[in-house]
A and B are shown apart, each in its own frame.
Chain A
Amino acid sequence: RKEVEQDPGPFNVPEGATVAFNCTYSNSASQSFFWYRQDCRKEPKLLMSVYSSGNEDGRFTAQLNRASQYISLLIRDSKLSDSATYLCVVNINAGNMLTFGGGTRLMVKP
């Protein structure tokens, strides 16, 4: 089993739709969680950190479920510009080793 797993997609959604991605992690001792976004041929960029209480940034909501060992990203009112690959990142151990999921590709269509 991979340490961090994501559905690779692609998720094809119309503009204005709400879409959710999940990411599961295998190590229950994981400490920190993040979502990154990568546009085609560009470097990944931090989208948001994921806190235990859940957090929201505009149209984006991230949640952590420690019991089931997954994090989620919800995007409301999808825009064409949201089309990208979304990467789940987990800090697996105290040595600050970050582990990336394989990414979920989102395509928002007019």
Chain B
Amino acid sequence: NAGVMQNPRHLVRRRGQEARLRCSPMKGHSHVYWYRQLPEEGLKFMVYLQKENIIDESGMPKERFSAEFPKEGPSILRIQQVVRGDSAAYFCASSATEAFFGQGTRLTVV
């Protein structure tokens, strides 16, 4: 049973480009969380999704960020028109009861 899979592990984007981060939850898990972690800081909640539904997006910036978890396929965190301040590690977790994390995507905006 594969764990939570995130790809890519590392992503470099120029300012103004789009970044797409993918997360495949563990088999049987229908809940997905996205977190952002800036260097030397703690995890910051972004969004909580179930299949085809956004349950809580209170941590998502109002602009440029969106997330989806379609019926088929991975959850996608999309960042449009990236800026240097978006550089961070983005972790995805899936859960049934306990949450299990992917290894993260490290986004660098140059």
Residues of A within 8 A of B (CB): 8, 32, 34, 38, 41-46, 49, 85, 87, 89, 91, 95-100, 102-103
Contact = CB atoms under 8 A, between A and B. Distances in A.
B43 A98 contact: no
B63 interface: no
A103 B101 contact: no
Contacts of B42: 8, 85, 102-103
Contacts of A97: 48, 55-56
Given A41-B89, A44-B43, A85-B42, A96 B95 contact: yes
A31 to B, nearest CB: 9
Given A102-B42, A103-B43, A46 B55 contact: no
Interface residues of B, number: 21
A8 B101 CA distance: 21
B102 interface: yes
Given A96-B95, A97-B55, A98-B95, 18 more contacts: A8-B42, A32-B97, A34-B99, A41-B89, A42-B103, A43-B101, A43-B103, A43-B104, A45-B101, A46-B100, A85-B42, A87-B43, A89-B99, A95-B55, A98-B33, A102-B42, A103-B42, A103-B43
